[in-house]
Amino acid sequence: MSTSTNGRTAAKAPGNDKLAEAASWLDDRVGLAALAKKQIRKVFPDHWSFMLGEIALWSFVVLLLTGTFLTLWFKPSMTEVTYNGSYDLLRGVKMSEAYESALHLSFDVRGGLLMRQVHHWAANLFIAAMLVHLMRVFLTGAFRKPRELNWVIGSLLLLLGTLEGFTGYSLPDDLLSGTGIRAADGFMLAVPVVGTYVSFFLFGGQFPGDDIIPRLFTAHILLLPGILLALIGAHMLLLVFHKHTQWPGPGRTNDNVVGYPLLPVYTAKAGGFFFIVFGATALMGGLFTINPVWKFGPYDPSQVTAGSQPDWYMGWPDGALRIFPNWETHLWGFTLSWNIFLPIIVLPGVVFTAVLLLPFLEAWITGDKREHHLLQRPRNAPSRTALLVALMTFYGILWEASGNDLIATHFHLNLNYITYFNRIMVFVGPVLAFIITRRWCISLQRGDRDRLLHGYESGIIMRSPEGAYAEKHLPISVGEAYSLTARDREELAPPPSAVDGNGVANRRARGEGLRWKVRHFWFAHDIEKPTRAELEEAQHHADHELTMHEDGHQHLTESGYTGDYELDGTPADGHQFDGRHDISGDELRKGH
């Protein structure tokens, strides 16, 4: 901090006195120049996948803006009124004030329907973007030390965002949303011991009562967004503090961050991206109908529509609920509804906790305590990638199961068989996905290794004197070779022995042994990058192949032919890459 007291020496940018004056005025009062000088030109690396979290961030801002607009007209009240608005088909129908105001917003407020639809689209986008961002972070290993806590915050954001979505789409009090609340009441009632009390306290008595909409409204517009905002703030602060991860490459190491400055490049790119997200959701709100509440009618606990489904992110627990066996236990005068409690209360809790703990689980397996700022390609962590794909498969099967009735009617399939199929696939699918993905990753690793050792496929086919054809491989650039090898070697220590070197029993051997087994399972099949010696050997081999003898002859050792034969010696005629020429000076590929 400047020790100056006259306020005239601070923040003087050359040739810009007015800016300096304004900065001085501010710094005299808040003194942020020391922080600002670092952050204004803070460097962010560039990659398309870093944009996913940004979509989530900006769609949240869109939600705040459109949501505020909606609150100006929406009435969170369950008081019964008779509809007398613009929509002919419901005139004279008794409904809650909440539903009436949702209709009023949709039909009588200019831009009201647009804002409702933008809000709903942005909510779906918000949660989708968070989920994809989470997968990106996991697949690239961006969750590793020192970023574990930001992973935890991000997972909480996903959970709270889901709850925020549920409380939001429950507000209009139409037939579909009311059916959702009815089911949620059934979930609560299934909780052992306290379930009935939770339900009565939440609904202010029996379902539906007249308290639930105002209470969900408070949660939806105050409580949950407040927590979301605070967590998003913490998420961003940690991002700035840690500096963004980057892909390895020439000049891009674990100790630096290479990219463009916040001002002006990322201010323009990220700021511009806000307008793109807002613009895209506005177009969707204008062109694509979502949640047409007027078609569903007001909530009536004795009515339901076939094909009732929650928003997409609620699908997977709903699918679990659909395929779960109908187990219920009656003990000592009490009822335990396993068929509801396990799939809809316990399972999401377990899955969420598992996701929350993934970084710590992996750190335990690897025993890695270093800081990681370089991203990993998914193929270079085959078991991790396979684990995520297994989780995605689990999620996907359950999600698909939540549409079992629609699949049955659209594809003319037997609903019961679909359900039996899902009951098996929810267990078998993730295992298959794990095995396939891991083998796939390992093959890709082999491909990378071949590319390093033998070069890229040039597309030039050579014919040997015996008549055999082979494709010529040419060396890849140093930059690409460096990027491909910029990863850690996963070296497996030998299994821990029960006694140490002095013959003293190792008390932790049992735990360490388990950890060694898991680590072995995790890494043992990975393909390591080539060593320097292997690379040099391959290089030597290739050089030899391309070396031209002084007499104009060249060996083609790979084809098995050991003799010499004539070269024509003419310059570039289309045949110069036939392997009989020294190509060191030629431009083989035009730079793109």
Partner 1 sequence: MTTHQEPEPGNDEAVATAAHGTAPAVVGDPIADPGLPPHEPRPTDVDPHAERRAERQVATLFGLSTVFAILFVVSYFAFDVGKKPTVIAGYGASNVALGVTLGLALLLIGVGAIQWARKLMSDVEIVEMRHPASSSEQDREDAVAALGQGISDSGIARRPLLRNSLIGALAALGLPAIVALRDLGPLPRGDLAVTVWKKGMRLVNDVAGTPIKPEDVEIGQLINGEPAVFYEDKPDGEPKFEGTRLNDAKTKAAIIIVRMQPGDITPPKGRENWGVEGILCYSKICTHVGCPISLWEQQTHHLLCPCHQSTFDLADGGKVIFGPAARSLPQLPIMVDSEGYLVAQSDFTEPVGPSYWERG
Per CB under 8 A, which of residues 476..505 are in contact with partner 1? 478-479, 481-482, 485, 489
* Secondary structure in 3-state letters for 394-411: HHHHHHHHCCHHHHHHHH
Please report how close the Cβ of residue 326 comes to partner 1 at its closest, in angstroms. 4
Gap between the Cα atoms of 278 and 316, Å rounded: 28
Residues 346-385 that bind partner 1 (CB under 8 A): 371, 373
Torsion angle defined by CA atoms of residues 45, 51, 53 and 58, in that order, rounded to the nearest 10 degrees: 120
Q: Is 398 in the site for partner 1 (CB under 8 A)?
A: no
Count the residues of the shown chain that bind partner 1, applying the rule CB under 8 A. Answer: 134
Of the pair 331, 572, the CB lying nearest partner 1 is at: 331
Of the pair 74, 434, the CB lying nearest partner 1 is at: 74
> Tokens representing 515?
């950890």
Residues 413-472 that bind partner 1 (CB under 8 A): 415-416, 419
Q: Which of 285, 317, 382, 396 binds partner 1 (CB under 8 A)?
A: 285
Q: Is the dihedral of CA 359, 365, 371, 372 positive or negative?
A: negative
Task: Report the amino acid identity of residue 209.
Answer: G
Q: By CB under 8 A, which span of 295-303, 392-400, 503-511, 574-582 interacts with partner 1?
A: 295-303
Gap between the Cα atoms of 173 and 300, Å rounded: 9
> Tokens representing 454?
């033998």
Q: By CB under 8 A, which span of 67-75, 219-227, 251-259, 377-385 interacts with partner 1?
A: 251-259
Gap between the Cα atoms of 132 and 411, Å rounded: 29
Task: Kindly tell me the burial class for residue 227, based on how many C-beta atoms sit within 10 Å of its own C-beta (0-12, 13-18, 19 or more).
Answer: middle
Of the pair 274, 561, the CB lying nearest partner 1 is at: 274
Gap between the Cα atoms of 4 and 469, Å rounded: 78
Residues 255-284 that bind partner 1 (CB under 8 A): 255-261, 264-265, 268-269, 271-284
Q: Is 547 in the site for partner 1 (CB under 8 A)?
A: no
Please report how close the Cβ of residue 218 comes to partner 1 at its closest, in angstroms. 12
The 43-72 contact track toward partner 1, x by CB under 8 A, reads x-----------------------------
Gap between the Cα atoms of 589 and 458, Å rounded: 9
Q: Which residues contact 528 (CB under 8 A, 6 or more apart)?
A: 489, 490
Please report how close the Cβ of residue 183 comes to partner 1 at its closest, in angstroms. 5
Q: Is 38 in the site for partner 1 (CB under 8 A)?
A: yes
Q: Is 42 in the site for partner 1 (CB under 8 A)?
A: yes
- What's the gap between Cα 549 and its chain centre? 56
Q: Which of 140, 155, 167, 337 binds partner 1 (CB under 8 A)?
A: 337
Phi then psi dihedrals of residue 28, to 5 deg: -60, -25
Q: Which of 50, 138, 166, 187 binds partner 1 (CB under 8 A)?
A: 187
Of the pair 213, 232, the CB lying nearest partner 1 is at: 213
Gap between the Cα atoms of 456 and 176, Å rounded: 57
Residues 190-209 that bind partner 1 (CB under 8 A): 190-197, 199-209
Please report how close the Cβ of residue 568 comes to partner 1 at its closest, in angstroms. 36
Q: Is 117 in the site for partner 1 (CB under 8 A)?
A: yes
> What is the CB-side half-sphere exposure of residue 29 using CA atoms within 13 A?
5
